[in-house]
Structures are given as C-alpha cells and as structure tokens.
Amino acid sequence: MLYFKKNFFTLLFFVAFVSCKTETEKTTEIAYIPTKEKEINYAKGFEISTFEGYKTITLKNPWPGTDRTFKYALIEKNTILQNPEDYDAVVEVPVKQIVVTSTTHIPSLEMLNELDALIGFPNLNYISSEKTRQKITEGKIAELGKNEDLNTEILIDLNPDAVIGFAVDGNNSTFSTLQKSGIPVLYNSDWTETSPLGKAEWIKFFGALFNKEKEADSIFRNIETEYLSAKKIASEAKTTPSVISGAMYKDVWYMPQGNSWGAQFITDANGNYLWSDTSGTGSLSLNLESVLEKGHDADFWIGPGQFTSLDEMENGSQVYTQFKAYKTGNVYSYSMKKGQTGGVIYYELAPNRPDLVLKDLIKILHPELFPEHQLYFFNKLD
C-alpha cells in the first residue's frame, strides 16, 4: 500500500527509491485529465470521478448537520499521485484486505464476491449473514471490539488496505490514530440517505474500491429495475390502505418522519402513511393521545418496535389493543427474523435490497398483486 506524507524530502526519497526498481515495477505519473463522472442517480452522499490512472470518491454528507466534505484518491499500483496532501485518504486499488464497521457494508462485499477481503469487524455478533458467519467460525474475521472504541492494537496489527467507517459527529479519535499509523480510513454514509434506492446505490462505493465498477453498476441496475417495476404494479392497486408505524418507549411514541426512508417505502407500496405530511428524515416523537386520535382506524400497522406477538404488545400496553389494525390482526414486524447470534436481518440487508422490502410491503397491503411472493423480511404477528 502506498502511503504519502506531506514532507517534501520524504517525497523526494520515495521518487528516488522507485526510480531504482526493476523494469517490471515502472511507475506511472498520473495525468490530471478527467475522463468521466461515474453515474450516481439516487445517492446524495457521494460522487465518483475517474481520471487517467486514478479515481476519486467525494463524500458530501458524512453525518447529519455538517457541510464538510471528504475526498479520497484510489490509485493503481506503482503510480505517483501529485499533491497527495489534498486528499483525506489515499488507497491503492483494488483493495485486497479491508475492515468495515457497519453490518450494512456486508451485503455489498458479498454481492461483489469480495467477502474474502474482509479481515475485521467490530462486534461480530451483530452480523447475520450465513456466509459471513461461516468466515467468522473459521477464524478469518477478527473481532475489533465496539465501533465507538475499536481495538487499535489489533487493527494496526491486521494492517488492512482500508478501514471503512461511519460517524455521527466526526469525533472518533480511533480513526485519527489509525490514519496516523498509515492505515487509510474512509467514511461511508449510506445510513444518511433518505431514499430506498439511494441507500442501495452505495454498492458503487465498494465497487470503486475493488475495481468492480461494472459489476456494481449491473447489480444496482437489477435492484433498481425490480424496485421500479414493483412500484408501478403497486400504483395500479384499487385501494390505498392507511398505515401507522412505530410504538411507545417510555411513554413516547416513535415513528418515521414523512421524508424518511421508512415512509417512502409505504408510499411506494401505495399505502397511505398517516404521518406522510410531516417534515424530516428521522423519527417523530409523539404522545400517545395524538397517535390514538389519528391512527385509531388505520388499516395496517407496520413495524411495531421490537414486539414479536400481539400478546406481547398487549402486555406492553393495553392501549395498543384499541387500534383497528391490532383488532384485525394486521400488524407486521421485521424484528422477528434474526441471524444465528441475534442480529436483525432487516437492519443488515434491507438498505441493500430495497426491492425485497417493497415487494414485502406490497404483499402486505395488496396481496392480490403479488400472489406468489413470500415475505422475506416481515412476519405477521400472531
């Protein structure tokens, strides 16, 4: 892995050293002539540009509430990058060994057939994928502790080509330590995207790291096609059932805001999410009375917190039994399907496969439109 320091004399030494290498390791000086922008149609958080001999990833929304951007250079072996200090990380591609820190990164590695490159992850128990769990069982993926407190000693010893992290506020001292040790850290902010296809398009981020842009584009196009086709079918439904979501936690009812990822799914499935007129992309914090007044007669209840049965809901609060959706048994949860060690499969895979989520919701709201579809993420509460 090439790692460049800002010090001028260090750079001179590097150039002199490379010039003495054999003919099979000739260097190529990069030409700063952009060839094209990689097409990103839905994701708002990143851009990919390709140049003669290298490419860049520009991260535009690393965490909510910031206007900071990050720029990463992805270079081929035996190339010299001019002004490397202009980049927040420089990574030699294709990446051979990688550490990721969110379960939402796992499906991209699997779909690109690059799971063997994964050598470390924080809190392995969160991972649900059977393929990845097999690698864990074989001892091929190291435990790195907690995401907010990564084990830097193990990480530095692993010496991955890149660490893919995420941040809620940018104050992660562990990442700074890794960067000072020479390990590139790249932020991935797929979780800040608000559209279902925007989240899924982040597979192109990983495609760039592994020089598999064509494969990533193809995978995403298939997901996009399936999603848009299902959405069109749903739009032809004769009814638009009303939907509520969420549940109470310490007397506060939390549910998706109107511009959120979860709300968009319901709308695209031709459902009438009763709080779709609210602004924001996070969660609403409501009192019970307002939810009961507005959602009392909702036809369906999607995502009732962590409840796994109607009895469990009743034991949680008698108020739940007053809702029409509860009385008719039209309550559906994504919390019941879990991996071997208890990780919820929906949290890991749904951002990468919005087409499956949408088909599930259409099956729930308009079962006549997808008679052969079997629910992938959701279960009806008994």
Decide if pLDDT at 147 tops 80: no
CA atoms within 13 A on the CB side of 201: 20
User: 8-223: CATH homologous superfamily?
Assistant: Nitrogenase molybdenum iron protein domain (3.40.50.1980)
pTM of the model: 0.88
Render pLDDT for 264-294 as a digit per residue (tens, 0 to 9): 999 999 999 999 999 888 899 999 999 999 9
Class of CATH domain 236-380? alpha beta
CB of 88 closer than 8 Å to CB of 72: yes
Give the model's pLDDT for residue 37: 59
The phi and psi torsions of 340 (rounded to 5 degrees) equal -55, -35
Question: Do the domains spanning 8-223 and 236-380 agree at the CATH topology level?
Answer: yes
Domain regions of the chain by residue span: 8-223, 236-380
* 334 pLDDT tier (thresholds 50, 70, 90): very high
User: Within a 10 A sphere around the Cβ of 367, how many other Cβ atoms?
Assistant: 10
Beta strands in 93-189 (DSSP E): 98-100, 118-121, 142-143, 145-146, 149-150, 162-165, 185-187
pLDDT digits (tens, 9 = 90+) for 62-100: 988 888 999 999 999 888 888 899 999 999 999 999 999
Pairing mode, strands 79-80 and 300-302: unpaired
Residue 316: is it exposed, middle or buried by C-beta count within 10 angstroms (0-12/13-18/19+)?
middle
